[in-house]
Amino acid sequence: MRTVILKTSVKLLTPLFILFSLFLLFRGHNAAGGGFIGGLLAAIGLFMRAMVLGVNNTIAKYRIRPMGIIAIGLTIALISLIIPLLLGHPLMTGVWLKFSVPLIGKLGTPLMFDIGVYALVIGVVLNITFILSKN
């Protein structure tokens, strides 16, 4: 099953998966997509690579530690909740920058929160699947 064609295509496909998942993440605020879906997609892409090329290989190549990603995701989400507090708004108020960035769009705390969700979902899925597939 692990043919050369499959291996090569997976190697090429994984970055594409991640890129597309990022696309989904950033367009989420205005069109179908978002942190949860994006995270799932990225996780599936990475998991597919791990299945074909091995978990350890994937971990080494992408330098992923699922637990670390979970922690980072949760922290980003938390910070995004606290930022409005520092600016004198109630907790969790959406705060947006005045200008927008090309390709990504407007930046603000809801987007940051979504990024946190995105990271956390990747971490959780990989955490479970990696340890299951190590046997």
Tell me which H or E stretch contains 104: none
Strand partners, 96: 108
Strand partners, 105: 101
**Residue 40 dihedral angles phi and psi, to the nearest 5°:** -60, -45
Binding mask 46-85 for other proteins (x = CB under 8 A): -x------------------xx--x--xx--xx--x----
Decide if residue 87 touches other proteins (CB under 8 A): no
Q: Residue 13 or 92: which CB sits closer to other proteins?
A: 92
Tell me which H or E stretch contains 107: strand 105-108
In the bound complex, what is the minimum distance in angstroms from residue 110's beta carbon to other proteins? Answer: 4
User: Which window, 6-14, 43-51, 55-63, contacts other proteins (CB under 8 A)?
Assistant: 43-51
